[in-house]
């Protein structure tokens, strides 16, 4: 590609973009080195889709039925956005910026536009149902991300249509548990250029929304949080991994992929075993604490801090089984950092051979979950309330486990634990 000469009287980036824009649309000269490749490729696509950059652009909402369908299909994404919206409003409220959320196709499903006096485009463009795709309004940050799935900034004259050149936009993708593009978070300012690193801000909050979405979409999964510092485990920078009841790594966010040294998760990824990906057995990972962090050595040698919790199909927390064979956990307050070993002695059980046999017999998270409930009930003399309090779960969860055990026992002709005549134990 031809490199545009740098001329002294084009002193600002905005001036250089203006000149590159004119030379590209008027003379066909590529804007190499002036605009990003993502913007250049979008210009090329928009030239095939639209007549001229000088044509009038209309921020037209899609049909009412499509708007309703977009909100309905993206309910979990919208709820995750609403959780982060107060914080977004707080940090952007004293700037000229607003935050927007679109679905994967570029249809607006959420916005924080304040309707400032100087704004003309923003109040129109941020209406629910407005289509911000390249096909509708040309090159915009949310439209490019909806097309490519990659973060991008589009500022001023980098927009395809002349009528949108007052806008400054930065957008980042949000992915679901299948690795598909679920939505796009955008931060935009009208007429006033950004005076801070907007790409970092939009990327951080897109990650926060994505993490909430992943947890909301997790079925009966063990969710593992990991990072190089324990203080980051509850932040948008936490790595998240979903492990199913068969011990397979079924989803992960981008942070987890980077920590594990794996490529970004994509749709139709082959599920890897946790031992291959994390260098630890499912029993060891399930025994990690819920409220504190424990050290975990990854196969690549990196030492991270980790925490786990079990999710039920209804999205609520389940019991995290404490396997007899799990190693001692190092809490955050301890100065020593001990990795989770591949083999560990059962310290809590006075009979190691029995502990080993029981641990090896628990082949899935569901089995170990039921086993932990049964042992807690035995320790509490069959009292459901005491067992629930000991495990930190609801009595309803205990009853569901007992009912499941009763059905399994009936199927194989074994006596049911629910048939015991002990009203105090089940009260």
Res 274: pLDDT:
92
The residue among 216 and 374 whose pLDDT is bigger is 216
At 152-176, the pLDDT tens digits run: 999 999 999 999 999 999 999 999 9
Sequence-distant contacts of 262-268: CB under 8 A, at least 24 apart: 264/179, 265/175, 265/179, 266/179, 267/178, 267/179, 267/180, 268/179
Distance, in Å, from the CA atom of 111 to the CA atom of 71, rounded to the nearest integer, reads 13
Closest to 153 in 3D by CA, of 135, 137, 134, 172: 172
At 327-347, the pLDDT tens digits run: 444 444 443 444 444 444 444
pTM: 0.76
Q: What is the mean pLDDT of residues 142-160?
A: 98
In the three-class reduction of DSSP (H, G, I as helix; E, B as strand; rest coil), residue 315 is classed as coil
163 HSE (CA, 13 A, CB side): 13
Residue ranges, CATH 3.30.450.40, the chain: 64-128+169-214
Distance, in Å, from the CA atom of 401 to the CA atom of 426, rounded to the nearest integer, reads 13
The residue among 76 and 288 whose pLDDT is bigger is 76
The residue among 411 and 211 whose pLDDT is bigger is 211
pLDDT tier, 404 (very low <50, low <70, confident <90, very high otherwise): low
Beta bridge partners of 97: 189
Question: For the structural domain made of 64-128+169-214, what CATH number should be given?
Answer: 3.30.450.40
Res 401: pLDDT:
76
């Amino acid at each position: 590609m031809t490199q545009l000469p740098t001329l002294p009287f084009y002193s600002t980036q905005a001036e250089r973009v203006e000149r590159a824009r004119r030379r590209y649309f008027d003379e066909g000269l590529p804007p190499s080195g002036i605009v990003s490749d993502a913007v250049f490729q979008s210009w090329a696509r928009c030239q095939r889709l639209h007549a001229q950059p000088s044509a009038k652009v209309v921020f037209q909402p899609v049909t009412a039925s499509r708007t309703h369908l977009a909100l309905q299909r993206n309910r979990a994404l919208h709820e995750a956005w609403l959780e982060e919206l107060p914080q977004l409003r707080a940090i952007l409220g004293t700037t000229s910026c607003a935050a927007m959320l679109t679905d994967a196709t570029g249809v607006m499903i959420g916005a924080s536009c304040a309707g400032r006096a100087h704004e003309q485009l923003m109040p129109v463009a941020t209406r629910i149902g407005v289509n911000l795709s390249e096909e509708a309004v040309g090159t915009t940050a949310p439209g490019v991300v909806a097309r490519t799935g990659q973060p991008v900034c589009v500022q001023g004259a980098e927009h395809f249509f002349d009528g949108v050149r007052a806008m400054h936009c930065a957008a980042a993708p949000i992915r679901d548990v299948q690795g598909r593009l679920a939505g796009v978070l955008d931060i935009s300012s009208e007429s006033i250029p950004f005076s801070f690193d907007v790409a970092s801000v939009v990327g951080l909050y897109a990650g926060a929304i994505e993490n909430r979405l992943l947890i909301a979409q997790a079925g009966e999964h063990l969710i593992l949080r990991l990072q190089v510092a324990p203080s980051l485990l509850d932040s948008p920078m936490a790595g998240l991994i979903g492990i199913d009841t068969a011990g397979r790594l079924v989803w992960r966010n981008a942070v987890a992929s980077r920590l594990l040294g794996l490529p970004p998760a994509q749709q139709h990824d082959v599920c890897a075993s946790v031992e291959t990906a994390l260098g630890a057995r499912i029993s060891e990972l399930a025994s990690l604490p819920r409220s504190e962090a424990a050290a975990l050595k990854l196969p690549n040698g990196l030492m991270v801090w980790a925490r786990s919790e079990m999710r039920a199909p209804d999205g609520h927390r389940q019991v995290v089984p404490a396997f007899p064979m799990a190693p001692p956990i190092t809490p955050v307050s301890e100065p020593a950092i001990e990795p989770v070993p591949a083999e560990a002695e059962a310290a809590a059980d006075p009979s190691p051979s029995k502990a080993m046999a029981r641990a090896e017999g628990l082949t899935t998270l569901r089995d170990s979950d039921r086993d932990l409930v049964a042992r807690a009930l035995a320790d509490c003399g069959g009292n459901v309330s005491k067992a629930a309090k000991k495990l930190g779960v609801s009595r309803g969860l205990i009853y569901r486990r007992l009912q499941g055990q009763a059905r399994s026992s009936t199927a194989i002709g074994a006596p049911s634990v629910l048939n015991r005549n002990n009203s105090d134990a089940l009260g």
